[in-house]
Amino acid sequence: MRSFVLRGGRLTAGQSRALREFWPQFGIDKNESLLDLRTLFGNDAPVIMEIGFGNGDATWQMAQACPDENYLGVEVHQPGVGHLLLKMKEYGITNIRIANDDAVEFIRARVPEESLAGVRIYFPDPWPKKRHYKRRLIQPAFIKLLASRMRLGALLHLATDWEAYAEHMLEAMKSSNDFVNLSPSGDFCEQPDWRPQTKYEKRGECLGHRVRDLLFKKI
Ligand SMILES: C[S@@+](CC[C@H](N)C(=O)[O-])C[C@H]1O[C@@H](n2cnc3c(N)ncnc32)[C@H](O)[C@@H]1O
């Protein structure tokens, strides 16, 4: 069961050019072999994975603010990948690598165990209808998969503007023995200052939605 339906949407001329010119430097070609993150980034800096980055505006801002960290972005929507490559070129950002894949399959096949210093999932598709709940990305089995690829002490940061999904995330995280909740009240956290506002967040706020951040540490 996939957590996405591939949206149509044409690539703009700029996105096509970015994919042609910059993918060879920053893109991760599809294959089945385990990644060597040191070789991929050319250094030993901690690697933070962002899943479902959309147009990547939060990704490049975080990578720009933290040049001593590496960012591994995974997104199925190709125009979003093109948009992020354009921004990386515009701002001269080199500490991002991009996979244009289903994150579930990508993590399972290609991300080494206990290799990630953090995972960020901002505004995943809420799948609001009950019959679609099983499509939600944040589920116990996926949390288990993430935990296996995260180092001890690594942070898992989730955010959503969908209150029912926030509760669902909290329940799913509570059922895991691999994480401890960093919320002083045992539920949600203040938005950390490293998280930029995302495109979907802006859309949710215009609709009057309350935004929830969840922060968990791998133990
Ligand atoms: C609601 S959008 C949020 C985008 C962005 N994080 C933001 O806040 O603006 C969810 C994104 O997750 C992507 N997505 C959903 N499931 C995915 C998966 N299994 N692997 C990679 N990307 C996925 C979708 O293509 C979409 O761009």
Whether the predicted pLDDT of 7 surpasses 90: no
Q: Is the CB of 15 under 6 A from ligand 1?
A: no
Whether the predicted pLDDT of 50 surpasses 90: yes
pLDDT of 6 reads: 85
Instruction: Given CATH 3.40.50.150, say whether it is the number of domain 42-218.
Output: yes
Mean pLDDT within 31-39: 96
pLDDT of 166 reads: 98
What sign for the dihedral angle of Cα 176, 177, 182, 183? positive
pLDDT of 41 reads: 98
Whether the predicted pLDDT of 51 surpasses 90: yes
Mean pLDDT within 121-146: 96
Mean pLDDT within 161-182: 97
Domain ranges of the chain: 42-218
Confidence grade of residue 111 (pLDDT, cut at 50, 70, 90): very high
pLDDT of 8 reads: 78
pTM of the model: 0.97
How far apart CA 178 and CA 164 sit, in angstroms, is 23
pLDDT of 138 reads: 98
Mean pLDDT within 112-121: 98
Mean pLDDT within 71-89: 98
CA 188 to centroid of ligand 1, rounded, Å: 21
pLDDT of 156 reads: 98
Q: Is the CB of 161 under 6 A from ligand 1?
A: no
Whether the predicted pLDDT of 87 surpasses 90: yes
CA 28 to centroid of ligand 1, rounded, Å: 18
pLDDT of 5 reads: 87
How far apart CA 75 and CA 9 sit, in angstroms, is 14
pLDDT of 176 reads: 97
Mean pLDDT within 184-190: 97
Q: At what angle do helices 103-110 and 140-149 cross, to 10 degrees?
A: 40
Whether the predicted pLDDT of 56 surpasses 90: yes
What sign for the dihedral angle of Cα 198, 204, 210, 215? negative
Q: Is the CB of 127 under 6 A from ligand 1?
A: no
Residues marked as catalytic: 125
Spell out the alpha helix ranges (H) of the chain.
Answer: 13-26, 37-41, 57-65, 78-91, 103-110, 140-149, 163-174, 199-206
Q: Is the CB of 3 under 6 A from ligand 1?
A: yes
pLDDT of 17 reads: 97
pLDDT of 120 reads: 99
pLDDT of 1 reads: 83
